[in-house]
């Protein structure tokens, strides 16, 4: 529940992709490319992907987010309503096979985010072979789908990449209170799919997994709903499952200076292949909501350091009033997480709520899937979580049960570029 924002951040182009007939026999990439969110329909109006850190206001759910840019979409992009996040393990030791998969993934992602079909679609093709499109998103709009890739620390043990691992991509320590499930932790690489329609997001991950079959497999995945932070100025601050506004001072997609300072990797920060990228921390945080729901309103507000109705800091009237941190209890979440208490440390949040059935004891398995982007994990999430895990009053009601970190490379610049080209174009 870490929060630095005051409580609670191969050539393809648009030409038709290779048909099923040309895909048969691809080394390790499988038979089918992923299908499009619109099943071959015309893309709707496009929304920028914050190439230079400036993102336009969120568009309606029919919009398509531009795929190309200096930085990947899905970071400073206006936050969508739904998430499907997947971590993958690599199954091959053939570098060329893995690189080909990345190129195939890029071609599919380029088309899916634009609302276009991949290959021959879900029907009408070769009857003797599986269709290219799984079909569940036929007729749906692009829904502002963004697809963002990241590389985990373990990937750099493969393909001769050990010397390219950034120093900022640190292995997180075991924090006090952590109860990490190994089946929900780590991964060689990840894909974050965000969209306003959950079926569009699930469809994207499903089809990328199909393309990668035999080269990678899904290690774990997480569905999310109800965004718990916003990157859009003026938008209503969303609430988490505890009922409190979350991410009041999150970095906005229009704040170019703050994005440059806290989110984007700059020249000289590390390996040059990461310039324009970012670092992602993903944490699955279980909320003990049955206990929380039996806690008095006063204690709930004391835990956060804000009132539950307006979201105002202690002693203030409005949500965005400057907080007086000393008026809060010493272990209040806002007081501990605020940049003024941490030498200005700030991260960009894109978290989502989740509810995954029950735990077998009559309690909901629910909470926050925390996603935080930053310029350097050593200067962002790591010092913040060390403090919060040791002192935050909120720890009585939450537990971190899953964890992963990823280096998110820069964006795909044009139709000839592909995910990870800055890293894998280097000699092994």
**Does 1 reside within a domain?**
no
Q: Contact, 401 vs 180, CB < 8 A?
A: yes
For the residues 392-421, what does the mean pLDDT come to? 98
Beta carbons within 8 Å of 326's beta carbon, 6+ residues apart: none
- Residue 417: is its pLDDT beyond 90? yes
Residues 364-381 have pLDDT tens digits of 999 999 999 999 999 999
Number of domains composing the chain: 1
Please state which of the ranges 54-63, 100-109, 409-418 shows the lowest mean pLDDT.
Answer: 54-63
**Does 328 reside within a domain?**
yes
For the residues 382-406, what does the mean pLDDT come to? 97
**Does 271 reside within a domain?**
yes
What pLDDT does residue 427 have?
A: 60
Residues 118-139 have pLDDT tens digits of 777 788 888 899 888 899 988 9
pLDDT band at 207 (very low <50, low <70, confident <90, very high): very high
Q: Contact, 386 vs 172, CB < 8 A?
A: no
- Residue 38: is its pLDDT beyond 80? no
What pLDDT does residue 20 have?
A: 34
- Residue 233: is its pLDDT beyond 80? no
Average pLDDT, the chain: 86
Helix (H, G, I), strand (E, B) or coil at 36: coil
Calpha distance 227→154 (Å, rounded): 29
- Residue 189: is its pLDDT beyond 90? yes
What pLDDT does residue 9 have?
A: 34
- Cβ atoms within 10 Å, residue 199: 15
What pLDDT does residue 59 have?
A: 44
pLDDT band at 55 (very low <50, low <70, confident <90, very high): very low
**Does 139 reside within a domain?**
yes
**Does 196 reside within a domain?**
yes
Q: Contact, 399 vs 285, CB < 8 A?
A: yes
Range of the domain at 234: 20-165+173-424
- Residue 6: is its pLDDT beyond 60? no
**Does 11 reside within a domain?**
no
- Residue 50: is its pLDDT beyond 50? no
**Does 2 reside within a domain?**
no
Q: Contact, 150 vs 72, CB < 8 A?
A: no
**Does 418 reside within a domain?**
yes
- Residue 382: is its pLDDT beyond 90? yes
């Amino acid at each position: 529940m870490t929060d630095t924002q005051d409580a609670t951040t191969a050539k393809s182009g648009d030409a038709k992709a290779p048909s099923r007939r040309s895909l048969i026999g691809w080394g390790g990439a499988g038979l089918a490319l992923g299908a499009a969110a619109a099943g071959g329909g015309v893309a709707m109006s496009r929304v920028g992907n914050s190439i230079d850190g400036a993102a336009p206001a969120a568009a309606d759910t029919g919009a398509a987010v531009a795929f190309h840019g200096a930085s990947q979409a899905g970071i400073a992009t206006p936050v969508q309503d739904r998430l499907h996040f997947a971590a993958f393990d690599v199954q091959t030791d053939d570098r060329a096979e893995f690189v080909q998969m990345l190129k195939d993934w890029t071609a599919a992602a380029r088309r899916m985010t634009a609302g276009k079909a991949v290959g021959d679609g879900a029907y009408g093709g070769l009857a003797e072979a599986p269709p290219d499109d799984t079909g569940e998103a036929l007729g749906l709009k692009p829904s502002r789908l963004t697809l963002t890739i990241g590389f985990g620390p373990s990937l750099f043990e493969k393909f001769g990449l050990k010397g390219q691992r950034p120093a900022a991509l640190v292995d997180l320590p075991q924090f006090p209170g952590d109860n990490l499930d190994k089946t929900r932790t780590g991964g060689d690489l990840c894909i974050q799919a965000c969209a306003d329609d959950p079926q569009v997001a699930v469809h994207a991950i499903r089809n990328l997994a199909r393309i990668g079959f035999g080269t990678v497999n899904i290690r774990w995945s997480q569905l999310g709903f109800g965004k718990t932070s916003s990157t859009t100025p003026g938008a209503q601050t969303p609430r988490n499952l505890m009922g409190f506004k979350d991410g009041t001072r999150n970095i906005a997609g229009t704040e170019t200076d703050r994005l440059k300072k806290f989110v984007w990797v700059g020249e000289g920060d590390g390996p040059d292949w990461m310039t324009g990228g970012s670092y992602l921390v993903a944490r699955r945080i279980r909320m003990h909501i049955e206990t929380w729901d039996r806690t008095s309103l006063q204690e709930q507000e004391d835990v956060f350091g804000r009132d539950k109705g307006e979201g105002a800091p202690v002693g203030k009237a409005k949500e965005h009033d400057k907080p007086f941190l000393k008026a809060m209890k010493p272990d209040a979440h806002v007081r501990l997480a605020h940049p003024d208490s941490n030498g200005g440390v700030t991260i960009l949040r894109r978290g989502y709520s989740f509810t995954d059935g029950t735990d077998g004891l009559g309690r909901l398995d629910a909470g926050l899937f925390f996603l935080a982007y930053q310029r350097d994990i050593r200067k962002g999430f790591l010092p913040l979580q060390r403090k919060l895990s040791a002192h935050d009053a909120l720890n009585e009601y939450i537990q971190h049960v899953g964890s992963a970190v990823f280096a998110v490379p820069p964006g795909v610049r044009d139709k000839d570029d592909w995910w990870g080209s800055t890293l894998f174009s280097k000699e092994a």
